[in-house]
Structure 1
Amino acid sequence: MEITRTTLGIAVGIAGTLFLGYCVYFDQQRRKDPLFKKKLRERRQKAQQKTNKSRIIDGSLPDMNDHQAMQLFFVQQIQLGEELLGAGDLEGGVEHLGQAIAVCGQAENMLSVLQQTMPAPIFHLLLKKLPEVSERLRLAMKAKSKLQEEDVE
């Protein structure tokens, strides 16, 4: 028995229709599931929390006038950046290293050290993100100082 193009086309069409029907059926079942939306919300919240952990949190911002707090913040950001880069999270690692450089008194020296120790693509990503991170940190510091001024009044 020889399989013709027509027979093959019909078989592929039927298989495609069955697969599409299978997808539609399980999509409907998924949408009807009352726990699906709850699970989806929880999954999104976990992802959001993970993203927020790698961002600046106002409570962790140091007092710009406290030299020791600035040093501690710098060291923490370097450590977090290294950990995240080691874990494969390039965006988060570069974000924290950028924050460390933004508060560093000798940013040029720090950049030259990082250039020698980091792979070139990651260093270029850091250079690309540094203005954005610095501006975000500056705005967060400014907002924190405004809140502190309002609390005093």
Structure 2
Amino acid sequence: MLDLNRNTALAIAGICGTAFIGYCVYFDKKRRNDPEFKKKLRERRSKYAKQVGPSGTTFPDLRDVEAVQKFFLAEVQRGEELLALGNYEDGVEHLTNAVAVCGQPQQLLQVLKQTLPPPVFAMLLEKLPSINQRLATSPTIAQKKPDDVTTATITDVDDLE
């Protein structure tokens, strides 16, 4: 009697599994044949690409202090990890992002000048002019009203060289 129940349970499980897979295949085909599917997919991908931005980094809303602090710490940590692994280009990219959202970029740059090797710090200085452009194209800045836009600038970079 135990074998009969076990065989019956296996047969029911097999039938249910086959029905579920058939259900998935049918509705996936129906979804893909929908004329609006590709249009919606393109819209979703372009929306995501705008959120991420050209450098692949999504900046936080600069009005949210907690989000900016988390972003800053994460970027500094990731930059240090990449530099330790020898990936200087990506490490400098993350440190540049941290400088972009830092409340006191001159002090951060002074610390980085003392801690980074001179060639790596030179790479960082080369990337600094692109910070304002990346922040300006950030979705969190672009979504603000024109009278509410705050532009972050880093001045006196020449003093660090």
Question: TM-score, normalization: structure 2?
Answer: 0.51
- Secondary structure at 1:65's aligned position in 2? coil
Letter in 2 for 1:84: L
Matched, 1:87 2:85: yes
Gaps spanning 5+ residues in structure 2: where? 1-51, 146-161
In structure 2, the partner of 1:143 is 142
In structure 1, the partner of 2:73 is 75
Gaps spanning 5+ residues in structure 1: where? 1-51, 147-153
Task: Note the aligned Cα RMSD (angstroms).
Answer: 1.9
| Aligned residue pairs, count | 91
How many Å separate the matches in 2 of 1:114 and 1:143?
29
Cα deviation for residue 122 of structure 1 reads: 0.3
Q: Do the aligned residues in 2 keep the contact of 1:63 with 1:70 (CA within 8 Å)?
A: yes
In structure 1, the partner of 2:113 is 115
Task: Name the CA shift for 1:125/1:145 in 2 (closer, same or farther; >3 Å).
Answer: same
Q: Do the aligned residues in 2 keep the contact of 1:99 with 1:134 (CA within 8 Å)?
A: no
Instruction: List, as ranges, runs of 4+ consecutive aligned residues in structure 1 with deviation greater than 2 Å.
Output: 55-58, 141-146
How many Å separate the matches in 2 of 1:143 and 1:64?
11
Cα deviation for residue 144 of structure 1 reads: 5.0
Letter in 1 for 2:65: H
Task: Name the CA shift for 1:124/1:70 in 2 (closer, same or farther; >3 Å).
Answer: same
In structure 2, the partner of 1:128 is 126
Matched, 1:56 2:56: yes
Letter in 1 for 2:89: E
Identical positions, percent: 47
Letter in 1 for 2:75: Q
Task: Name the CA shift for 1:123/1:73 in 2 (closer, same or farther; >3 Å).
Answer: same
Higher share of residues assigned helix: 1
Q: Which digits, 9 at most, give the CA deviation of each residue in 1:1-56, with x for residues without a partner?
A: xxxxxxxxxxxxxxxxxxxxxxxxxxxxxxxxxxxxxxxxxxxxxxxxxxx9xx43
In structure 1, the partner of 2:150 is none
Q: Do the aligned residues in 1 keep the contact of 2:79 with 2:92 (CA within 8 Å)?
A: yes
Q: Which has the higher contact order (CA 8 A, sep 6+)?
A: 2
